[in-house]
Structures are given as structure tokens and as C-alpha cells.
Chain A
């Protein structure tokens, strides 16, 4: 992964500025509350929800264990149906392929436009920046992505990229960018403005770039689900369609869709079914695009396949349910994660795809409350993967730092040595009890030094009592 994330600050620092943005927090809270109560309603009505989760998990686990087999099967069937498959190892290769395909079909001319629809993967590889550098203008057509693009903003949610914006903020963007100074902020008026703006582009632009929710090996088909119909326009109206697909999006058979088309919409938007489910295979004479290309993107994914725990991360179907229930995400929103993938899934996916410094703080950006695992439609045990990654990061910190360990490293090592032996532990209890008298005020500890100071910045603490439980037990034994 590359791009804007390179300079992102560590999570605790990025979170601090998010926490100061009262409006953002209110928007995030309101939106996640709505989606999660709809999700709960739609999940509760399915008696076989747990079986569906298990089935989804198993399909993904099987596919990832035999990924090469299914990728090659997909390539064969897609090309038999008239598509062309390209393989990209990383962001640079994928962007170069896309630029060269646009050039082939549009000719080398200035002012080439492409329409795009919901492809987070293209954000992962900073495709818009690469296209622009090559003189190609990308136009986002998913409503939320369009709002983000027009506002020179970044997506903050996997499913609802403009979740951090409210109606009046969106109206302000449209007023400026669409040159509509009198625009009102009712949903009908805003939608009509967006529709008019987008229709003109759908009807004139010849090349589209889309993402994919699923790529089916058995048939070589690609599937996209969405709510607006803008995706349907993007994949049917242009002459050329380029589809960017992460290699983990493969599923073996057409029938496997029956599981995911039940779990994905319910988890993502709280709908029984997505309003638009598009599914196509290669090209069809007289209907839809004349040329169809698929770019299969690795970009770090293969690195996760070797380790069974890490591999589970790739099962994600990008429903965003874990974001909506995450106590951390609900306070900070998505930008603090410094990556297109935010929330609990971002906290495990980003540090595995990126080797960037700031993303190493992401696995620690969780209380391990387990709400993410509880709602995950493919049962990714996110808390366990977070703990696994924390272990990897601490081990690496030892290697990297060599002789100079961080304060935290030293404290944790000392604590381990203390807990190893009960006499040492009892001595530490006594020492702590004596030292705390320096910090006592009104029977509470209100300003502690060092790392403990982060506790007392916002919380009081009762001091350590005169007798520990073991002291009580000992005294009691003498009097018995």
C-alpha cells in the first residue's frame, strides 16, 4: 500500500484530533446507530443466521487454502466468456495496467475521463492519483464516493464513505462544486442534484472502472451489489469496463453466492437484499460493454496466506458491520486509522498489507470487547487476530530496538519478573502502597506520574488499601 497513509500519525494522536471534532462525532454516532439497529432487526429475523455465518466462514477458508487453483479457474472461465484477465503484484503494476488499458481504448489524448464505482481497492492503491498523473480524470459515481471526491476528502467508512458528513455539509459541497448556490439540504433536492450531475457523465463517458464484491471461479462471473443503481449504470453503459479485483474476492461456485447475498446486505446496510445485484460474465453481443478487463490484485495479500491466523483476515466481505459496533470507531470515525480500511477490520488488515510505521499502532486501537467478532458475517475472530498482531509487533520491537528498549517494554518486563514469584509480587505491593502517599488527594489518586498519568488525566483512582486480600487472609488464619 502506498499514498497518503505514509505520513499519517499514530492512532492515539490522530484520534485526539477526531475526538475534538464534535460535529464529526455526532455524525458518526448517529449514522452508526441507525445502521446497526437496522442490521440487528434484519439479522434477528433469520433463524439460520449462525449457520449462514459458519457457511460463509468455511467457504472463505476453503477458497483461501486453495486460492491459486480458483484464481486460475476464474481466469480461464472469464477469458472463455470474452473477458481479459491481468495480474498485478502490487499497486504500481495495477495502476500501470489500468492506465495502459485506458490509453489503448481512448487513444493518447488529453482530457480523457473515466467513471468509477465503489472500488475501495482502487483507493488502497491510490489509483485516482495515478490516473490524474497520467492525464486521466476519474469521476466517482457512487453517491458517497462522489461527495468525498468533490469535497477533497477521504472515505471514513467501508460501506458509507461519507458517513462523517451530514446533509448540510453535503449541500455546501454541492453548492460550490456543482455551481448551485441556492441548493437546499432536503434529501430529495440533494439526490436530484447528484442524479443530474451523474447522468450527464454516465451517458458521455466511454470507460468505466469498477470494483467487485465477488468473482466466481466456476463461471468467470463478477458480482457487484449496491443501493443506488449507479454501479449498474457504470457496468452497462460504457464501451469498456475495467474491473479491479483483490485476489481474496474469489469464491469457488455460483451457488456460494446464496450465502453471501444473504449475509452481506443484512450486515452492511440492514437490508434483506441489496436494491441492485449485478452479475455478469465476460461480454455479451449487443448488450453492455464491448471490452471487459479484470485486474487481479495481490498487493500484499499473499503475505497473509501463509499464516492460518493472519489468513482469516482475507475472508472479509467488506460489510462494515464491525465498524458500526466498535466502541473505538464510534468515537473517532474512520480518518484516525490513516487508511482506507478503518475500524476493527482496518486495524487488522492495514498493518498486514502495509509495513508503514503508523499502522503498527492500529492493532492496539481496540478494547478487545469482541463486538466485532459477534457481528462478523464470516466469523473473523478479530480480537484474536489483534492479539496475534500485537505479539508480532512487540517481538519486532525487541529486534529493532536492540539494546534500547522503550519505557513500556521495560515496565512490562519488570512486571513479568514481579508476577513470576509471589514474594517479589508482595514486595511490589508494599512498595506501591508506600509510594502512592505522594499522590493522594481527598482519598483518591488524581495525578499519577509516567504512564499511569494517562489514567489520571481523565479518571480518579482509589488508593491501594492498607491490607491486600492476602494480608487479610493471613491475619484471619491467625485468629481462626
Chain B
């Protein structure tokens, strides 16, 4: 299958290893991966912060870039949630029939990374080896908007030498919330303190999720407090083949 990557702006800039891992996993499974340089941002930050007009050109750029793709793979659940929850609404408000049509036909071809593997491609074992203890944080957007519950767990259970540990109160938000993290930074940090206490309690060496944004928040608090726990996007664990942590 030809898989078009939408890497997400913050992954592209801050977490390039996630996109590299996604590429490795998909190619290992025999798919061809494409990356269109015209892509930038899905518009989520602007839209969720109330800058609805400013989000429109970004949404248009996304749709223009991906309208002809066979499937789009997005290693960021919150971006997929933005697309599924808001793109149709935005197109409707734009009163542009062609644009609305493009959105309608494109949306069913967009998949979050773990969704693509398990639901669309029917794969659970991607041949990964990862000799570490891992806990999984179900991010709010993956859990409550995309309703992704089992897919990442199935993928993690199939990784050789990986010990999957339960995260206490796993469904609690990490406190990131996009611009909330800076507009209400004190409350964001208070919520994070509870989450990080649970991460430490899990006893895992690595905490993983489907969103690097949450992991950036979780890591930010852990590192500040001196806790030696790594954060890795699910794709990075699935890309590992056991010869060290590198791939």
C-alpha cells in the first residue's frame, strides 16, 4: 500500500525520530511511504484556541496536499481528532462545496498510526524487540475522541522482551491541553504533577503514548523533578529491533 505520511508540525520540528520510526515500521511491513513537503500543520492549535479564521488556510493546505492520497498515516491522535471533529464543520462554514466534498472523501482515508496498523492493515506483531518495561498513557484525544483503546495495547503486547506495566489512573489527563499549557500554566503543572506521580508509581522505564504533545508535557515534569524515565512515541518502540535501542 502507498501510505502518505502526515507527520504533524511539532513532530517534524521537535520529534523527528517519531516520523523516522513510522517510516521504518511501515517499510518493514512492505508498504511504500510518501512524504509531501508541502504539508505543515493541521490547524488544531489555532482552532482549539479560538483562532478559527486563522485555522482555515492551514486546513485547506492539508486537504490540498492529501486529497489524492490512498491512505494518510498520522502519528498524532490529537491531529486526527482535529480532522474528524472539525474539518467538516470548517468546510461547511466556508460554504465551499468543492472543499467540503474533498474533506468528505478524504476523512475516511486518514488513520492514526496504531489505528492504521491494527484496524486498516490488520497487523499486531510488527516484529519489534524492546527489552524494557513500558507503561502506556492513553491520551485524551486518542481515548475519548478517536476511541482507540485496544490497538496500542495489542501492538505493545506483541513486542518481544517488552514488559507492559499498568499506569495507575491512566485515563486522567496529563494537563497539556495545547495552549492551555501556557495560558493556564499553573493548573497545567498541577495536573501534570498527579500524572507524573502515577508514571513513577507504575515503575516503568519508558512511558509511551500516541501523542508526543502529552509525552512532551510528561517528560517536562519528570525531567524537572529529576526522575529518570524516558518518553517514547509508540512508533519508536515498534521500530526497535533489539540491537541496542537504536533503529
Contact = CB atoms under 8 A, between A and B. Distances in A.
B76 to A, nearest CB: 12
Contacts of A16: 186
Contacts of A72: none
Contacts of B173: 327, 367, 369, 371
A12 B189 contact: no
Contacts of B119: none
Given A15-B187, A367-B176, A420-B58, A462 B219 contact: yes
Contacts of A412: 46, 49, 51, 54
B69 interface: no
Nearest to B180: A367
Contacts of A455: 181-182, 185, 220
Nearest to B172: A327
Nearest to A446: B224
B47 A387 contact: yes
A394 B39 contact: no
A24 to B, nearest CB: 12
Interface residues of B, number: 67
Chain B binding surface SS class = helix
A451 to B, nearest CB: 5
A130 interface: no
B184 A416 contact: no
Chain A binding surface SS class = helix
Given A15-B186, A412-B54, A455-B220, A369 B140 contact: yes
A462 B176 CA distance: 16
A368 B139 CA distance: 11
B216 A461 contact: yes
B140 A457 contact: no
Contacts of B52: 391, 394-395
A470 B35 contact: yes
A373 interface: yes
B223 A371 contact: no
Interface in A405-426: 412-413, 415-416, 418-422, 425
Contact of B40 (A328, A371, A425): A425
Nearest to B8: A469
A412 B12 CA distance: 19
A459 B17 CA distance: 21
Interface string A312-347: 000000000000000110111000000000000000
Given A367-B173, A455-B181, A460 B224 contact: yes
A469 B220 contact: no
Interface string B187-198: 111111010000
B220 A459 contact: yes
Given A454-B185, A462-B219, A465-B14, A419 B190 contact: no
A456 to B, nearest CB: 8
Contact of A472 (B20, B57, B179, B219): B20
Given A419-B41, A459-B221, A327 B191 contact: yes
A279 interface: no
A58 interface: no
Interface string B138-179: 001100110000000000000000000000000111011111
A467 B16 CA distance: 7
Nearest to B185: A454
B187 A19 contact: yes
B181 to A, nearest CB: 6
A255 to B, nearest CB: 32
A412 B180 CA distance: 14
Given A461-B216, A469-B11, A416 B48 contact: no
A281 to B, nearest CB: 41
Interface string A440-465: 00001000000110110111111011
A470 B221 CA distance: 28
A369 B219 CA distance: 19
Interface string B28-72: 000000010111110101111111111101100100000000000
Interface pairs A-B: 6 shortest CB-CB: A459-B220, A367-B177, A390-B50, A416-B54, A458-B189, A370-B144
17 contacts: A12-B183, A331-B190, A332-B190, A364-B179, A367-B173, A370-B140, A387-B86, A391-B50, A391-B52, A394-B51, A425-B40, A429-B12, A455-B181, A458-B186, A458-B224, A470-B37, A473-B35
